[in-house]
């Protein structure tokens, strides 16, 4: 694939990076809330625009990036991300600082990714999961960033999502942090959040 046919990155790198980051920050600071994420990217399928925007805004040569099987199956995706971010695409999930998942139903266990260390819990992965929407209110969330309790829904997510999130919460202050991206929005689920079904 030649550079000429690569899908374009941000039109205004400085300002778009900033607004995408702000959406991610608001999402992380207010778990469960759908924060609007507007961008004009048209990345190669099956990468969606919202997830692509997050990667372009947050990744560079300092952040090894892991792609799930579905994204890895399309060389144009890696080409696009490498060209616009300079991030190394890694095969080993444990080595990744960011992991991009197009097919959450098929994704590896959270424990396949770096949870940080007791001394440096920040040396952990941020998982970017592509979702098709934030419909429903299947889960109740509590924790920092949430006044009392909030409800949240998104799909698709792993079948054992609640159990995974509980196991992740139990690792605190270690753990993985999630950004769910799609349908014009982003939702943050940091490791500090407690997820309950019902």
Would you tell me which residues interact with other proteins (CB under 8 A)? 13-15, 17-19, 21-22, 24-26, 28-30, 57-60, 62-63, 97, 118-122, 124, 126, 143-147, 172-173, 175, 177, 190-192
Are 159 and 197 in contact by the 8 Å Cβ rule? The answer is no
Q: Which is nearer to other proteins, 24 or 89 (CB)?
A: 24
Measured CA to CA, the distance from residue 115 to residue 118 in angstroms comes to: 9
Number of residues assigned to the chain: 198
Of 57 and 70, CB closest to other proteins: 57
Least distance (Å) from other proteins to the CB of residue 118?
4
Q: Kindly list the distances between the CA atom of residue 189 and the CA atoms of 49, 169, 193, in Å, as whole numbers in the listed order.
A: 20, 11, 6
Least CB distance to other proteins at residue 10 (A):
10
Looking at beta carbons only, is 11 or 132 nearer to other proteins? 11
143 or 158, CB closer to other proteins?
143
Smallest gap, in angstroms, from Cβ of residue 128 to other proteins? 11
Q: Residue 106: CB partners within 8 Å, gap ≥ 6?
A: 68, 69, 70
Quote the least distance from Cβ 84 to other proteins, whole Å: 12
The residue (of 70 and 97) whose beta carbon lies closer to other proteins is 97
Please classify residue 6 by burial: count the beta carbons closer than 10 Å to its beta carbon, then call 0-12 exposed, 13-18 middle and 19+ buried: middle
In DSSP terms, which residues pair with 127 in a beta bridge?
99, 178
């Amino acid at each position: 694939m030649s550079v000429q046919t690569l899908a374009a990155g941000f039109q205004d790198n400085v300002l778009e990076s900033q607004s995408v980051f702000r959406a991610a920050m608001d999402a992380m600071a207010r778990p469960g809330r759908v924060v609007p994420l507007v961008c004009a990217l048209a990345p190669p399928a099956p990468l969606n625009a919202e997830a692509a925007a997050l990667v372009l805004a947050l990744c560079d040569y300092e952040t090894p990036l892991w792609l799930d099987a579905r994204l890895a199956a399309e060389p144009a995706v890696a080409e696009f991300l490498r060209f616009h971010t300079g991030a190394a695409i890694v095969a080993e999930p444990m080595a990744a600082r960011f992991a991009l998942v197009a097919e959450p139903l098929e994704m590896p266990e959270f424990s396949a990714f770096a949870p940080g260390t007791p001394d440096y819990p920040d040396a952990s992965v941020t998982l970017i999961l592509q979702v098709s929407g934030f419909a429903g209110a299947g889960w109740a969330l509590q924790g920092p960033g949430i006044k009392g309790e909030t409800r949240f829904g998104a799909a698709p997510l792993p079948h054992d999502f609640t159990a995974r999130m509980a196991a992740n919460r139990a690792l605190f202050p270690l753990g993985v942090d999630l950004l769910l991206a799609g349908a014009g929005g982003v939702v943050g689920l940091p490791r500090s959040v407690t997820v309950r079904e019902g």
